[in-house]
Structure 1
Protein backbone atom coordinates (compact mmCIF):
# COMPACT_ATOMS: atom_id res chain seq x y z
CA UNK A 1 0.00 0.00 0.00
CA UNK A 2 2.86 2.37 0.85
CA UNK A 3 4.49 1.67 -2.55
CA UNK A 4 1.23 2.45 -4.37
CA UNK A 5 0.87 5.73 -2.41
CA UNK A 6 4.41 6.75 -3.43
CA UNK A 7 3.71 5.84 -7.07
CA UNK A 8 0.49 7.85 -6.95
CA UNK A 9 2.19 11.06 -5.86
CA UNK A 10 5.24 10.58 -8.09
CA UNK A 11 2.97 10.13 -11.10
CA UNK A 12 1.02 13.27 -10.23
CA UNK A 13 4.27 15.24 -9.84
CA UNK A 14 5.49 14.05 -13.26
CA UNK A 15 2.18 15.09 -14.85
CA UNK A 16 2.34 18.57 -13.30
CA UNK A 17 5.97 18.93 -14.43
CA UNK A 18 5.13 18.02 -18.02
CA UNK A 19 2.20 20.47 -17.93
CA UNK A 20 4.53 23.22 -16.71
CA UNK A 21 7.01 22.53 -19.51
CA UNK A 22 4.28 22.49 -22.15
CA UNK A 23 2.64 25.71 -20.98
CA UNK A 24 5.72 27.80 -20.23
CA UNK A 25 8.11 26.61 -22.92
CA UNK A 26 5.59 25.38 -25.51
CA UNK A 27 7.66 22.18 -25.51
CA UNK A 28 7.27 19.85 -28.46
CA UNK A 29 9.31 17.84 -30.90
CA UNK A 30 8.21 19.83 -33.94
CA UNK A 31 6.38 23.13 -33.83
CA UNK A 32 5.09 25.42 -36.57
CA UNK A 33 5.18 29.20 -36.93
CA UNK A 34 1.85 29.81 -38.64
CA UNK A 35 2.93 33.29 -39.77
CA UNK A 36 5.29 31.72 -42.32
CA UNK A 37 4.86 29.16 -45.03
CA UNK A 38 3.80 25.80 -43.70
CA UNK A 39 6.50 23.76 -45.42
CA UNK A 40 9.31 26.27 -44.85
CA UNK A 41 8.36 26.50 -41.20
CA UNK A 42 8.38 22.73 -40.81
CA UNK A 43 11.79 22.37 -42.49
CA UNK A 44 13.20 25.04 -40.22
CA UNK A 45 11.79 23.46 -37.09
CA UNK A 46 13.15 20.04 -38.03
CA UNK A 47 16.57 21.63 -37.73
CA UNK A 48 16.01 24.00 -34.80
CA UNK A 49 13.31 22.27 -32.72
CA UNK A 50 14.12 21.57 -29.05
CA UNK A 51 15.46 18.14 -28.16
CA UNK A 52 12.85 17.57 -25.43
CA UNK A 53 9.08 17.84 -25.94
CA UNK A 54 5.66 16.28 -26.01
CA UNK A 55 5.00 13.04 -27.89
CA UNK A 56 1.34 12.10 -27.54
CA UNK A 57 -1.35 14.27 -25.96
CA UNK A 58 -0.95 14.93 -22.25
CA UNK A 59 -4.30 15.02 -20.47
CA UNK A 60 -6.07 14.84 -17.12
CA UNK A 61 -9.72 13.69 -17.18
CA UNK A 62 -12.48 12.47 -14.92
CA UNK A 63 -15.54 10.45 -15.94
CA UNK A 64 -17.79 7.47 -15.58
CA UNK A 65 -19.37 4.54 -17.38
CA UNK A 66 -21.81 5.20 -20.22
CA UNK A 67 -25.31 3.76 -19.87
CA UNK A 68 -25.04 3.06 -16.16
CA UNK A 69 -25.66 4.97 -12.97
CA UNK A 70 -22.39 6.63 -11.84
CA UNK A 71 -20.91 4.99 -8.76
CA UNK A 72 -17.58 5.10 -6.99
CA UNK A 73 -16.75 1.78 -8.66
CA UNK A 74 -17.36 2.79 -12.28
CA UNK A 75 -16.09 6.39 -12.08
CA UNK A 76 -12.44 7.38 -12.07
CA UNK A 77 -9.69 9.74 -13.12
CA UNK A 78 -7.59 8.91 -16.17
CA UNK A 79 -4.51 10.85 -17.13
CA UNK A 80 -1.69 10.45 -19.61
CA UNK A 81 1.88 11.73 -19.61
CA UNK A 82 3.79 11.45 -22.91
CA UNK A 83 7.22 12.95 -23.63
CA UNK A 84 10.07 12.40 -26.06
CA UNK A 85 13.77 13.18 -26.26
CA UNK A 86 15.41 13.57 -29.64
CA UNK A 87 18.78 11.90 -29.88
CA UNK A 88 19.76 13.43 -33.22
CA UNK A 89 19.14 16.57 -35.19
CA UNK A 90 18.34 16.45 -38.91
CA UNK A 91 21.75 15.16 -39.99
CA UNK A 92 20.42 11.74 -40.93
CA UNK A 93 19.26 10.99 -44.49
CA UNK A 94 15.98 12.62 -45.43
CA UNK A 95 15.91 14.94 -42.40
CA UNK A 96 15.08 11.92 -40.28
CA UNK A 97 15.81 11.69 -36.56
CA UNK A 98 16.04 9.16 -33.73
CA UNK A 99 14.24 9.69 -30.46
CA UNK A 100 13.37 8.15 -27.12
CA UNK A 101 9.76 8.24 -25.95
CA UNK A 102 7.91 7.52 -22.74
CA UNK A 103 4.15 7.39 -22.25
CA UNK A 104 2.34 6.57 -19.04
CA UNK A 105 -1.39 6.07 -18.59
CA UNK A 106 -2.86 6.08 -15.10
CA UNK A 107 -6.28 4.98 -13.90
CA UNK A 108 -7.02 6.43 -10.49
CA UNK A 109 -10.03 5.41 -8.39
CA UNK A 110 -10.34 8.76 -6.63
CA UNK A 111 -13.92 8.12 -5.51
CA UNK A 112 -13.03 5.05 -3.49
CA UNK A 113 -11.76 5.04 0.06
CA UNK A 114 -8.00 5.84 0.29
CA UNK A 115 -7.99 6.93 -3.39
CA UNK A 116 -6.20 3.82 -4.75
CA UNK A 117 -4.47 3.66 -8.11
CA UNK A 118 -6.21 1.01 -10.20
CA UNK A 119 -3.57 0.58 -12.88
CA UNK A 120 -0.44 2.27 -14.20
CA UNK A 121 0.69 1.44 -17.74
CA UNK A 122 4.33 2.17 -18.60
CA UNK A 123 5.25 2.53 -22.28
CA UNK A 124 8.89 3.39 -23.12
CA UNK A 125 10.40 3.06 -26.59
CA UNK A 126 12.95 4.16 -29.15
CA UNK A 127 12.01 5.30 -32.63
CA UNK A 128 13.16 6.59 -35.99
CA UNK A 129 11.01 9.13 -37.82
CA UNK A 130 11.26 10.63 -41.30
CA UNK A 131 9.11 13.38 -42.86
CA UNK A 132 8.25 13.36 -46.56
CA UNK A 133 7.99 16.30 -48.93
CA UNK A 134 6.59 16.29 -52.44
CA UNK A 135 6.80 19.19 -54.88
CA UNK A 136 7.57 21.61 -52.10
CA UNK A 137 4.70 20.45 -49.89
CA UNK A 138 4.73 18.43 -46.71
CA UNK A 139 3.29 14.98 -47.54
CA UNK A 140 3.46 13.09 -44.26
CA UNK A 141 5.63 11.22 -41.82
CA UNK A 142 6.71 7.62 -41.26
CA UNK A 143 7.85 6.27 -37.88
CA UNK A 144 9.42 2.96 -36.88
CA UNK A 145 9.14 2.37 -33.15
CA UNK A 146 10.37 -0.36 -30.82
CA UNK A 147 8.27 -0.18 -27.67
CA UNK A 148 7.53 -2.03 -24.46
CA UNK A 149 4.35 -1.78 -22.40
CA UNK A 150 3.69 -3.21 -18.95
CA UNK A 151 1.84 -2.41 -15.76
CA UNK A 152 4.76 -2.97 -13.41
CA UNK A 153 3.02 -5.65 -11.34
CA UNK A 154 4.01 -9.17 -10.45
CA UNK A 155 2.28 -12.52 -10.02
CA UNK A 156 -1.22 -12.92 -11.52
CA UNK A 157 -1.70 -9.17 -12.10
CA UNK A 158 1.42 -8.82 -14.26
CA UNK A 159 0.79 -7.70 -17.86
CA UNK A 160 3.41 -6.93 -20.50
CA UNK A 161 4.12 -7.06 -24.21
CA UNK A 162 6.50 -5.60 -26.81
CA UNK A 163 5.80 -4.25 -30.28
CA UNK A 164 7.65 -3.33 -33.45
CA UNK A 165 5.39 -0.55 -34.67
CA UNK A 166 5.09 0.96 -38.14
CA UNK A 167 3.05 4.15 -38.34
CA UNK A 168 2.36 6.87 -40.84
CA UNK A 169 0.37 10.07 -41.05
CA UNK A 170 -0.45 12.49 -43.81
CA UNK A 171 -2.02 15.93 -43.77
CA UNK A 172 -4.61 16.12 -46.54
CA UNK A 173 -5.12 19.78 -45.77
CA UNK A 174 -4.37 22.03 -42.80
CA UNK A 175 -7.61 20.89 -41.20
CA UNK A 176 -7.47 17.14 -41.92
CA UNK A 177 -4.92 14.49 -40.95
CA UNK A 178 -5.19 10.75 -41.62
CA UNK A 179 -3.07 8.29 -39.65
CA UNK A 180 -2.50 4.53 -39.57
CA UNK A 181 -0.43 2.16 -37.45
CA UNK A 182 0.22 -1.57 -37.33
CA UNK A 183 2.54 -3.68 -35.23
CA UNK A 184 4.41 -6.95 -34.94
CA UNK A 185 3.79 -8.17 -31.37
CA UNK A 186 6.26 -9.94 -29.12
CA UNK A 187 4.20 -11.14 -26.17
CA UNK A 188 6.30 -11.96 -23.14
CA UNK A 189 3.64 -11.67 -20.43
CA UNK A 190 2.50 -15.02 -19.09
CA UNK A 191 -0.92 -13.67 -18.07
CA UNK A 192 -1.85 -11.90 -21.32
CA UNK A 193 -1.09 -14.37 -24.11
CA UNK A 194 -4.42 -13.52 -25.75
CA UNK A 195 -3.88 -9.75 -25.69
CA UNK A 196 -4.26 -9.37 -29.48
CA UNK A 197 -7.90 -10.45 -29.16
CA UNK A 198 -8.50 -7.31 -27.11
CA UNK A 199 -5.76 -4.73 -27.76
CA UNK A 200 -5.69 -5.32 -31.50
CA UNK A 201 -3.21 -5.65 -34.33
CA UNK A 202 -3.54 -2.27 -36.08
CA UNK A 203 -5.34 1.05 -35.92
CA UNK A 204 -6.31 3.97 -38.10
CA UNK A 205 -8.11 7.25 -37.78
CA UNK A 206 -8.68 10.85 -38.74
CA UNK A 207 -8.14 14.16 -36.95
CA UNK A 208 -10.06 17.28 -37.98
CA UNK A 209 -9.55 20.86 -36.82
CA UNK A 210 -11.17 24.17 -37.64
CA UNK A 211 -9.00 26.59 -39.68
CA UNK A 212 -8.21 28.66 -36.58
CA UNK A 213 -7.37 25.49 -34.57
CA UNK A 214 -9.93 26.41 -31.92
CA UNK A 215 -11.89 23.16 -32.18
CA UNK A 216 -10.72 19.66 -33.01
CA UNK A 217 -12.16 16.17 -33.37
CA UNK A 218 -10.45 12.83 -33.77
CA UNK A 219 -11.64 9.27 -34.29
CA UNK A 220 -9.37 6.26 -33.84
CA UNK A 221 -10.41 2.67 -34.53
CA UNK A 222 -8.27 -0.17 -33.18
CA UNK A 223 -8.85 -3.45 -35.04
CA UNK A 224 -8.91 -6.48 -32.78
CA UNK A 225 -7.65 -9.77 -34.16
CA UNK A 226 -10.09 -11.80 -36.25
CA UNK A 227 -12.02 -11.41 -39.48
CA UNK A 228 -15.18 -10.04 -37.90
CA UNK A 229 -16.04 -6.36 -37.59
CA UNK A 230 -14.61 -5.75 -34.12
CA UNK A 231 -13.01 -2.45 -33.13
CA UNK A 232 -12.09 -0.49 -30.05
CA UNK A 233 -13.32 3.06 -30.62
CA UNK A 234 -11.78 6.27 -29.29
CA UNK A 235 -13.51 9.57 -30.03
CA UNK A 236 -12.05 12.85 -28.78
CA UNK A 237 -13.11 16.49 -28.89
CA UNK A 238 -11.00 19.48 -27.86
CA UNK A 239 -11.66 23.22 -27.54
CA UNK A 240 -8.69 25.57 -27.27
CA UNK A 241 -8.95 27.82 -24.24
CA UNK A 242 -6.93 30.70 -25.72
CA UNK A 243 -5.58 31.30 -29.21
CA UNK A 244 -2.00 31.62 -27.93
CA UNK A 245 -2.19 28.51 -25.75
CA UNK A 246 -1.78 24.81 -26.40
CA UNK A 247 -4.21 23.93 -23.59
CA UNK A 248 -7.65 22.63 -24.53
CA UNK A 249 -10.83 21.59 -22.81
CA UNK A 250 -11.12 17.92 -23.64
CA UNK A 251 -13.71 15.14 -23.94
CA UNK A 252 -12.79 11.51 -24.57
CA UNK A 253 -15.10 8.57 -25.25
CA UNK A 254 -13.64 5.06 -25.10
CA UNK A 255 -15.66 2.01 -26.17
CA UNK A 256 -14.15 -1.47 -26.31
CA UNK A 257 -11.44 -3.55 -24.69
CA UNK A 258 -7.82 -2.90 -23.77
CA UNK A 259 -8.14 0.55 -22.24
CA UNK A 260 -5.84 -0.48 -19.40
CA UNK A 261 -3.52 -3.50 -19.22
CA UNK A 262 -4.80 -4.91 -15.95
CA UNK A 263 -8.34 -5.23 -17.35
CA UNK A 264 -7.36 -5.61 -21.02
CA UNK A 265 -9.96 -8.38 -21.55
CA UNK A 266 -12.86 -6.48 -19.95
CA UNK A 267 -15.25 -4.34 -21.98
CA UNK A 268 -15.47 -0.64 -21.10
CA UNK A 269 -17.58 2.23 -22.29
CA UNK A 270 -16.37 5.41 -20.58
CA UNK A 271 -16.95 9.12 -21.12
CA UNK A 272 -14.48 11.49 -19.50
CA UNK A 273 -13.80 15.24 -19.60
CA UNK A 274 -10.90 17.39 -18.53
CA UNK A 275 -7.97 19.30 -19.98
CA UNK A 276 -5.41 18.32 -22.63
CA UNK A 277 -2.02 19.76 -23.57
CA UNK A 278 -1.27 19.10 -27.23
CA UNK A 279 1.80 19.41 -29.41
CA UNK A 280 1.24 22.21 -31.89
CA UNK A 281 2.00 20.06 -34.91
CA UNK A 282 2.18 16.29 -34.53
CA UNK A 283 0.00 14.46 -32.04
CA UNK A 284 0.99 10.81 -32.07
CA UNK A 285 -1.73 8.17 -31.87
Structure 2
Protein backbone atom coordinates (compact mmCIF):
# COMPACT_ATOMS: atom_id res chain seq x y z
CA UNK A 1 0.00 0.00 0.00
CA UNK A 2 2.99 2.30 0.47
CA UNK A 3 3.33 2.53 -3.33
CA UNK A 4 -0.31 3.58 -3.60
CA UNK A 5 0.15 6.43 -1.09
CA UNK A 6 3.25 7.60 -2.98
CA UNK A 7 1.40 7.50 -6.30
CA UNK A 8 -1.56 9.41 -4.89
CA UNK A 9 0.72 12.08 -3.42
CA UNK A 10 2.67 12.55 -6.64
CA UNK A 11 -0.49 12.81 -8.70
CA UNK A 12 -1.84 15.48 -6.34
CA UNK A 13 1.41 17.43 -6.61
CA UNK A 14 1.42 17.13 -10.39
CA UNK A 15 -2.20 18.23 -10.56
CA UNK A 16 -1.49 21.30 -8.44
CA UNK A 17 1.46 22.26 -10.60
CA UNK A 18 -0.52 21.67 -13.74
CA UNK A 19 -3.11 24.25 -12.64
CA UNK A 20 -0.38 26.91 -12.59
CA UNK A 21 0.61 26.43 -16.24
CA UNK A 22 -0.28 29.28 -18.61
CA UNK A 23 -2.43 27.71 -21.36
CA UNK A 24 -1.63 28.70 -24.96
CA UNK A 25 -3.67 27.92 -28.07
CA UNK A 26 -1.68 26.30 -30.85
CA UNK A 27 -3.08 28.79 -33.36
CA UNK A 28 -1.37 31.76 -31.70
CA UNK A 29 1.68 33.27 -33.36
CA UNK A 30 5.06 33.08 -31.64
CA UNK A 31 8.68 33.53 -32.41
CA UNK A 32 11.40 31.24 -31.01
CA UNK A 33 12.27 33.65 -28.20
CA UNK A 34 8.68 33.82 -26.99
CA UNK A 35 8.46 30.03 -27.11
CA UNK A 36 11.50 29.80 -24.86
CA UNK A 37 10.04 32.42 -22.54
CA UNK A 38 6.82 30.43 -22.20
CA UNK A 39 8.79 27.25 -21.52
CA UNK A 40 10.90 28.95 -18.86
CA UNK A 41 7.77 30.12 -17.03
CA UNK A 42 6.34 26.62 -16.83
CA UNK A 43 6.93 24.41 -13.79
CA UNK A 44 10.03 22.25 -14.01
CA UNK A 45 8.09 19.33 -12.51
CA UNK A 46 4.91 18.29 -14.32
CA UNK A 47 2.91 15.46 -15.86
CA UNK A 48 4.44 13.57 -18.78
CA UNK A 49 1.94 10.95 -19.96
CA UNK A 50 -1.63 10.41 -18.77
CA UNK A 51 -2.11 9.48 -15.11
CA UNK A 52 -5.05 7.14 -14.70
CA UNK A 53 -6.78 4.59 -12.48
CA UNK A 54 -9.07 2.20 -14.35
CA UNK A 55 -10.64 -1.22 -13.87
CA UNK A 56 -12.23 -3.73 -16.20
CA UNK A 57 -12.27 -7.19 -17.70
CA UNK A 58 -11.54 -9.30 -20.77
CA UNK A 59 -13.69 -8.75 -23.84
CA UNK A 60 -15.68 -11.75 -25.08
CA UNK A 61 -15.50 -13.77 -21.88
CA UNK A 62 -17.53 -13.95 -18.70
CA UNK A 63 -15.93 -11.64 -16.10
CA UNK A 64 -14.12 -13.54 -13.36
CA UNK A 65 -11.58 -12.69 -10.67
CA UNK A 66 -8.85 -14.10 -12.93
CA UNK A 67 -9.57 -12.11 -16.10
CA UNK A 68 -10.55 -8.80 -14.42
CA UNK A 69 -8.20 -6.30 -12.83
CA UNK A 70 -7.32 -2.68 -12.07
CA UNK A 71 -4.66 -0.90 -14.09
CA UNK A 72 -3.10 2.41 -13.09
CA UNK A 73 -0.33 4.60 -14.41
CA UNK A 74 1.77 7.40 -12.93
CA UNK A 75 3.89 9.50 -15.28
CA UNK A 76 5.90 12.61 -14.38
CA UNK A 77 8.81 14.60 -15.78
CA UNK A 78 11.43 16.98 -14.41
CA UNK A 79 13.06 19.54 -16.68
CA UNK A 80 16.77 19.86 -15.86
CA UNK A 81 17.71 22.85 -18.02
CA UNK A 82 16.21 25.85 -19.72
CA UNK A 83 15.88 25.79 -23.50
CA UNK A 84 19.38 27.17 -24.06
CA UNK A 85 21.14 23.99 -25.18
CA UNK A 86 22.20 23.50 -28.84
CA UNK A 87 19.31 23.36 -31.32
CA UNK A 88 17.05 24.98 -28.72
CA UNK A 89 16.69 21.74 -26.79
CA UNK A 90 16.26 21.14 -23.09
CA UNK A 91 17.27 18.15 -20.97
CA UNK A 92 14.70 16.36 -18.86
CA UNK A 93 14.07 13.26 -16.79
CA UNK A 94 10.86 11.26 -16.97
CA UNK A 95 9.45 8.40 -14.93
CA UNK A 96 6.41 6.28 -15.78
CA UNK A 97 5.11 3.43 -13.63
CA UNK A 98 2.35 1.11 -14.75
CA UNK A 99 0.66 -1.39 -12.43
CA UNK A 100 -1.70 -4.32 -12.93
CA UNK A 101 -3.57 -5.08 -9.73
CA UNK A 102 -5.69 -8.20 -9.20
CA UNK A 103 -8.11 -6.54 -6.78
CA UNK A 104 -10.80 -9.19 -7.36
CA UNK A 105 -8.60 -12.00 -6.04
CA UNK A 106 -7.94 -12.93 -2.44
CA UNK A 107 -5.37 -10.64 -0.74
CA UNK A 108 -5.47 -8.19 -3.70
CA UNK A 109 -2.09 -9.18 -5.23
CA UNK A 110 -0.19 -6.92 -7.60
CA UNK A 111 0.13 -8.92 -10.81
CA UNK A 112 2.91 -6.84 -12.35
CA UNK A 113 4.65 -3.49 -11.87
CA UNK A 114 6.46 -1.96 -14.84
CA UNK A 115 9.07 0.74 -14.15
CA UNK A 116 10.04 3.07 -17.00
CA UNK A 117 12.61 5.80 -16.21
CA UNK A 118 14.27 7.80 -18.95
CA UNK A 119 16.42 10.80 -19.78
CA UNK A 120 16.48 12.77 -22.97
CA UNK A 121 16.33 15.96 -24.97
CA UNK A 122 13.16 17.74 -26.08
CA UNK A 123 12.78 20.38 -28.76
CA UNK A 124 9.78 22.63 -29.37
CA UNK A 125 9.07 22.82 -33.11
CA UNK A 126 8.27 26.33 -34.41
CA UNK A 127 7.52 26.98 -38.10
CA UNK A 128 6.56 30.34 -39.58
CA UNK A 129 6.38 31.71 -36.02
CA UNK A 130 3.84 29.09 -34.93
CA UNK A 131 4.28 26.33 -32.40
CA UNK A 132 3.46 23.10 -34.25
CA UNK A 133 4.82 20.28 -32.09
CA UNK A 134 7.65 18.63 -30.16
CA UNK A 135 10.50 16.22 -30.83
CA UNK A 136 12.23 13.92 -28.35
CA UNK A 137 15.45 11.92 -28.29
CA UNK A 138 15.58 9.69 -25.23
CA UNK A 139 17.22 6.74 -23.54
CA UNK A 140 14.63 4.64 -21.72
CA UNK A 141 14.82 1.62 -19.44
CA UNK A 142 11.86 -0.61 -18.64
CA UNK A 143 11.72 -3.56 -16.27
CA UNK A 144 9.36 -5.21 -13.81
CA UNK A 145 11.71 -5.49 -10.85
CA UNK A 146 11.36 -9.25 -10.51
CA UNK A 147 14.01 -11.94 -10.38
CA UNK A 148 14.46 -15.47 -11.66
CA UNK A 149 12.17 -16.62 -14.50
CA UNK A 150 9.74 -13.70 -14.03
CA UNK A 151 12.37 -11.04 -14.63
CA UNK A 152 11.70 -8.83 -17.67
CA UNK A 153 13.79 -5.87 -18.86
CA UNK A 154 14.95 -3.94 -21.90
CA UNK A 155 16.45 -0.60 -22.90
CA UNK A 156 15.56 1.63 -25.84
CA UNK A 157 16.93 4.63 -27.66
CA UNK A 158 13.71 6.33 -28.75
CA UNK A 159 12.99 8.99 -31.35
CA UNK A 160 9.55 10.59 -31.23
CA UNK A 161 7.70 13.58 -32.53
CA UNK A 162 4.26 15.15 -32.36
CA UNK A 163 2.73 17.44 -34.96
CA UNK A 164 -0.29 19.71 -34.53
CA UNK A 165 -2.48 19.31 -37.59
CA UNK A 166 -4.88 21.96 -36.27
CA UNK A 167 -6.24 22.98 -32.86
CA UNK A 168 -8.27 19.76 -32.64
CA UNK A 169 -5.94 17.11 -34.07
CA UNK A 170 -2.41 15.96 -33.32
CA UNK A 171 -0.38 13.11 -34.86
CA UNK A 172 2.49 11.30 -33.15
CA UNK A 173 5.19 8.89 -34.24
CA UNK A 174 7.69 7.04 -32.06
CA UNK A 175 10.41 4.60 -33.14
CA UNK A 176 13.14 2.94 -31.14
CA UNK A 177 16.37 1.01 -31.27
CA UNK A 178 15.84 -1.85 -28.80
CA UNK A 179 18.57 -3.18 -26.52
CA UNK A 180 17.07 -6.36 -25.09
CA UNK A 181 19.25 -7.67 -22.28
CA UNK A 182 16.73 -9.72 -20.34
CA UNK A 183 17.48 -13.43 -20.14
CA UNK A 184 13.81 -14.35 -20.06
CA UNK A 185 12.46 -11.96 -22.70
CA UNK A 186 14.85 -12.13 -25.63
CA UNK A 187 11.90 -12.16 -28.07
CA UNK A 188 10.31 -9.05 -26.52
CA UNK A 189 10.55 -7.00 -29.72
CA UNK A 190 8.53 -9.66 -31.58
CA UNK A 191 5.54 -8.70 -29.39
CA UNK A 192 6.30 -5.06 -28.46
CA UNK A 193 7.59 -3.95 -31.84
CA UNK A 194 9.87 -1.20 -33.13
CA UNK A 195 7.52 1.76 -33.61
CA UNK A 196 4.10 3.20 -32.86
CA UNK A 197 1.73 5.74 -34.39
CA UNK A 198 -0.88 7.75 -32.49
CA UNK A 199 -3.63 10.24 -33.26
CA UNK A 200 -5.21 12.59 -30.72
CA UNK A 201 -8.45 14.51 -31.05
CA UNK A 202 -10.01 17.01 -28.66
CA UNK A 203 -12.93 19.40 -28.91
CA UNK A 204 -12.52 23.17 -28.87
CA UNK A 205 -13.56 23.36 -25.22
CA UNK A 206 -11.19 20.47 -24.29
CA UNK A 207 -14.03 18.58 -22.59
CA UNK A 208 -13.84 15.52 -24.85
CA UNK A 209 -10.71 13.66 -25.99
CA UNK A 210 -10.19 10.60 -28.18
CA UNK A 211 -7.02 8.75 -29.09
CA UNK A 212 -5.88 5.75 -31.11
CA UNK A 213 -2.42 4.20 -30.65
CA UNK A 214 -1.10 1.38 -32.84
CA UNK A 215 2.22 -0.39 -32.26
CA UNK A 216 3.68 -2.44 -35.09
CA UNK A 217 4.83 -5.81 -33.79
CA UNK A 218 7.87 -7.61 -35.14
CA UNK A 219 7.87 -9.28 -38.53
CA UNK A 220 6.48 -8.39 -41.93
CA UNK A 221 2.89 -9.33 -41.12
CA UNK A 222 0.09 -6.79 -40.78
CA UNK A 223 0.04 -7.15 -36.98
CA UNK A 224 -0.51 -4.39 -34.42
CA UNK A 225 -1.11 -3.83 -30.73
CA UNK A 226 -4.01 -1.36 -30.57
CA UNK A 227 -5.18 1.02 -27.85
CA UNK A 228 -8.33 3.14 -28.14
CA UNK A 229 -9.19 5.79 -25.55
CA UNK A 230 -12.11 8.12 -24.83
CA UNK A 231 -12.23 10.71 -22.05
CA UNK A 232 -14.75 13.32 -20.96
CA UNK A 233 -14.78 15.88 -18.17
CA UNK A 234 -17.92 17.53 -16.89
CA UNK A 235 -16.29 20.74 -15.66
CA UNK A 236 -13.69 22.74 -17.55
CA UNK A 237 -12.28 24.04 -14.27
CA UNK A 238 -11.04 20.55 -13.39
CA UNK A 239 -8.51 18.22 -14.99
CA UNK A 240 -10.11 14.90 -14.07
CA UNK A 241 -11.77 13.01 -16.89
CA UNK A 242 -14.05 10.02 -17.05
CA UNK A 243 -11.85 7.56 -18.96
CA UNK A 244 -12.50 4.52 -21.15
CA UNK A 245 -9.60 2.46 -22.50
CA UNK A 246 -9.61 -0.57 -24.81
CA UNK A 247 -6.42 -2.61 -25.34
CA UNK A 248 -6.06 -5.36 -27.94
CA UNK A 249 -2.80 -7.21 -28.55
CA UNK A 250 0.39 -8.33 -26.84
CA UNK A 251 2.85 -6.54 -24.59
CA UNK A 252 0.41 -4.67 -22.36
CA UNK A 253 2.60 -5.62 -19.40
CA UNK A 254 6.10 -7.04 -19.23
CA UNK A 255 5.36 -10.19 -17.25
CA UNK A 256 2.87 -11.49 -19.82
CA UNK A 257 4.30 -9.70 -22.86
CA UNK A 258 3.83 -12.79 -25.07
CA UNK A 259 0.19 -13.38 -24.10
CA UNK A 260 -2.70 -11.86 -26.03
CA UNK A 261 -5.01 -9.50 -24.11
CA UNK A 262 -8.27 -7.84 -25.12
CA UNK A 263 -9.26 -5.63 -22.19
CA UNK A 264 -11.88 -2.91 -21.66
CA UNK A 265 -11.45 -0.72 -18.58
CA UNK A 266 -13.09 2.42 -17.22
CA UNK A 267 -12.07 4.91 -14.54
CA UNK A 268 -10.55 8.37 -14.23
CA UNK A 269 -7.58 10.06 -15.89
CA UNK A 270 -5.58 13.23 -15.23
CA UNK A 271 -4.10 14.64 -18.42
CA UNK A 272 -1.17 16.98 -19.14
CA UNK A 273 -1.95 20.46 -20.44
CA UNK A 274 -0.94 19.65 -24.01
CA UNK A 275 -2.12 16.67 -26.02
CA UNK A 276 -1.37 13.36 -24.29
CA UNK A 277 1.97 11.68 -25.04
CA UNK A 278 2.30 7.95 -25.72
Does 1:235 find its partner at 2:236? no
Report the counterpart of residue 144 of structure 1 in structure 2. 137
Which secondary structure state, in structure 2, belongs to the residue aligned with residue 173 of structure 1?
A: coil
Report the counterpart of residue 28 of structure 2 in structure 1. 37
Q: 1:205, CA displacement in angstroms?
A: 1.4
Matched residue count: 276
| 1:184-212 superposed Cα distances (whole Å, 9 cap, x missing partner) | 00001000000011111100010001111
| 1:62-81 superposed Cα distances (whole Å, 9 cap, x missing partner) | 10000110000000000000
Report the counterpart of residue 5 of structure 1 in structure 2. none
TM-score scaled by length of structure 2: 0.94
Report the counterpart of residue 214 of structure 2 in structure 1. 221
Q: 1:24, CA displacement in angstroms?
A: 2.6
C-alpha distance in 2, partners of 1:27/1:10? 26
Q: Pick from 118, 123, 127 the counterpart of residue 120 of structure 2.
A: 127
Q: Evaluate the alpha carbon distance shift between residue 178 and residue 34 of structure 1 in structure 2; reply closer, same or farther with a 3 A threshold.
A: closer
The worse-fitting range, judged by mean Cα deviation, of 216-225 and 89-98 is: 89-98
Q: 1:137, CA displacement in angstroms?
A: 1.0
* 1:27–1:53 CA contact under 8 A, matched in 2: no
Gaps of 5+ in 2: none
1:57-206 equivalences in 2 (<5 Å): 57-206=50-199
* 1:255–1:270 CA contact under 8 A, matched in 2: yes
* 1:27–1:279 CA contact under 8 A, matched in 2: no
| 1:239-261 superposed Cα distances (whole Å, 9 cap, x missing partner) | 02310222111000000000000
* 1:31–1:279 CA contact under 8 A, matched in 2: no
* 1:31–1:280 CA contact under 8 A, matched in 2: no
* 1:132–1:139 CA contact under 8 A, matched in 2: yes
Does 1:10 find its partner at 2:2? yes
The worse-fitting range, judged by mean Cα deviation, of 202-211 and 236-245 is: 236-245
Gaps of 5+ in 1: 1-8
C-alpha distance in 1, partners of 2:257/2:108? 22
| 1:110-143 superposed Cα distances (whole Å, 9 cap, x missing partner) | 0000000000000001010001111111122110
Q: 1:92, CA displacement in angstroms?
A: 1.6
Report the counterpart of residue 6 of structure 1 in structure 2. none
* 2:28–2:130 CA contact under 8 A, matched in 1: no
C-alpha distance in 1, partners of 2:59/2:10? 30
